[in-house]
Structure 1
Amino acid sequence: MRVGIVILPDQRWAQSARRWRLADEFGFDSAWTYDHIGWRELVDGPWFDAVPVLTAAASVTSRIRLGTMVASPNFRHPVHFAREVTALDDISNGRLTLGLGAGGVGYDAAVLGLPELSPRQRVDRFTEFVTLLDRLLRAGRADAAGQYYRAVDARSTPGCVQRPRAPFVVAANGPRSMRLAARFGQGWVTTGERCDDLDAWWRSVVELTERFGEAEAHAGRGPGEVDRLLSLDAAPVFSLSSAGFFADAVGRASELGFTDVITHWPRADSWYAGSETVLEAVASEVLPAIRKPPQPAIP
């Protein structure tokens, strides 16, 4: 089981750099940041763009994988984004994982003054986005004439450090986006369904893992070929409420076949409010226990 942590881009770098350094030192396997123009009530800031934040994070870390959780077509075009991806992968020396999502409603979808899309239209757009981004990063050159994206002799040279491209982790709960994740993803990430009850949330996670297994089989992907990531803090209880609660959540996710779990750096208030003391306990007690090899049975 690998453990990742999301660090919101809600602090000036003079303060935020500490979080990224500690995530690396604490032994987390991955560190992610949200990719939004503005997010929920934090839209009034401070709030910073994901690409330069990850670029800066690459300069103060050496081991941990870095990624977007998740980049979306709400305000990104695959031609320009491919250039940003190749730069990030180069600067991080191949430590980039690209989390991708369809993009929802809210500030990001409205701030550019574009018409609101239906759920079906958002998945149509997402399919075009992922398909063109994949082609550009793999082939280095592409043309496209889709409904949402066009490209004329677009380039991504020199390409990613990671070959054939930086890995995609595709966020998906619905059947069409799951099929897209099974087709293009090196990983699939889910938030479960929105629930006010913790047990109901876990039941939704079970159902979604079963559905994704069907999508994998339909795409011809073998068991274990696609990593499975669970965003623990989509549950109605913050995963870092206590070290024991976090350990229990990791255990449940492991039993369901997830390869990775993702938590969030505790904030002073609002979303993901919690204590860094709990985070330190997780780093010193839970992470080593997760990675400790099983002891042989006593004869």
Structure 2
Amino acid sequence: MIHALLIPNAGWTELLARARRLEDMGVATVWVDDHVLNPAHPEQPWLDAWSLLPAIAASTSRIRLGPLVANGVLRSPAMLVRQALSVAHISDGRLDLGLGAGYAAADHATGDATPFADLVSTVDDALKGEPILDGFPSLAPLEHRIPLTIAAHGRKALRLAATYADRWVSYGGFGLATDELLTLTRERVGILEEAGTRRVTRMLLAGSPAVTAEPIWQSVDAAEDFVGRYRAAGIDEFTFYYPPGPMWSDPQADRVFEDYVTS
């Protein structure tokens, strides 16, 4: 299954056009990056993920959407649950909720973060319909539970994903060589399997030069080879940064991405 990650460093008109193009291509989910500013280019414009998600939800009809991942540093569990519930209703149940501990220094400078284990367990309680504050309505009005995706790299976080997540996601790491990324992914899949009593869907975020050393968008064959190797390592689904062209300084990458997704 193919998903796409929007980096919200463009204006609303352009971001909506990208989301609609992805919906027309048949991509499963449009994810939105969630930081207080662009970690790589803080000087660039940056729109808030939880402001974009309801707008995209109201402007599309089929595609699933969600934060990849909702940054536990930036908001309390109660506020995060309220935002998720709102977007789930606006989208008619098309929300996938991603959770992460947050890595960017600018995010941590905004205040004290809820410990990640507490964030995950509290949100999980809410997704099960259990009130998490006195007088806080549960998520019971929703027909279906919001699927939970957890970003995890270390052993402790992987155990949380194995316990609570419907889906685990990893970007691997920054600046890793091709073989290093593949080996590390296999190791994390193994830890996930050892830690859990049920199978969690495994997803890899890839396609930016920062996290994917090989030029996968030079051709459809290159993309298929990359996906095949990671499927063999235990990955089920892939989220690719979109659009890839500006990141690789190669306009052809956008066409290859579309050809790969629609092939």
- Structure 1 runs of 4+ aligned residues shifted over 6 Å read none
Tell me what 1:247 maps to: 224
How far apart, in 2, do the equivalents of 1:237 and 1:91 lie? 38
State the shift of 1:107 in Å: 0.8
How far apart, in 2, do the equivalents of 1:238 and 1:61 lie? 31
Tell me what 1:142 maps to: 132
Tell me what 2:150 maps to: 170
Secondary structure of the residue that 2:41 maps to in structure 1?
helix
Compute the TM-score of the two structures, normalised by the length of structure 2. 0.90
State the shift of 1:207 in Å: 1.5
Taking the TM superposition and a 5 Å limit, the aligned residue runs for 1:1-299 are: 2-110=1-109, 112=110, 114=111, 125-143=115-133, 153-157=134-138, 159=140, 161-163=142-144, 165-216=145-196, 220-221=197-198, 225-233=199-207, 234-237=211-214, 239-266=216-243, 269=246, 272-275=247-250, 277-284=252-259, 286-289=260-263
Q: CA-to-partner distance for each residue in 1:252-274, whole Å, 9 max, x for gaps?
A: 122223221111113664xx334
When the two chains are superposed, the root-mean-square deviation of aligned CA atoms in Å is 2.2
How far apart, in 1, do the equivalents of 2:65 and 2:149 lie? 12
Secondary structure of the residue that 1:100 maps to in structure 2?
strand
Tell me what 1:293 maps to: none
Secondary structure of the residue that 1:99 maps to in structure 2?
strand
How far apart, in 1, do the equivalents of 2:218 and 2:140 lie? 41
How far apart, in 1, do the equivalents of 2:94 and 2:218 lie? 29
Compute the TM-score of the two structures, normalised by the length of structure 1. 0.80
In structure 2, what residue type is equivalent to 1:279?
Answer: D
The runs of 5 or more residues in structure 1 that have no matched partner are 116-121, 144-152, 290-299
Structure with the greater alpha carbon radius of gyration: 1
Q: CA-to-partner distance for each residue in 1:138-190, whole Å, 9 max, x for gaps?
A: 224124xxxxxxxxx15244546352x21111011111111110111000011
The runs of 5 or more residues in structure 2 that have no matched partner are none
How far apart, in 1, do the equivalents of 2:227 and 2:9 lie? 26
State the shift of 1:231 in Å: 1.1
Contact 2:126 2:139 in 1 (8 A): no
Contact 2:182 2:230 in 1 (8 A): no
How far apart, in 1, do the equivalents of 2:251 and 2:17 lie? 12
How far apart, in 1, do the equivalents of 2:262 and 2:243 lie? 20
In structure 1, what residue type is equivalent to 2:203?
Answer: L
Identical aligned residues as a percent: 28
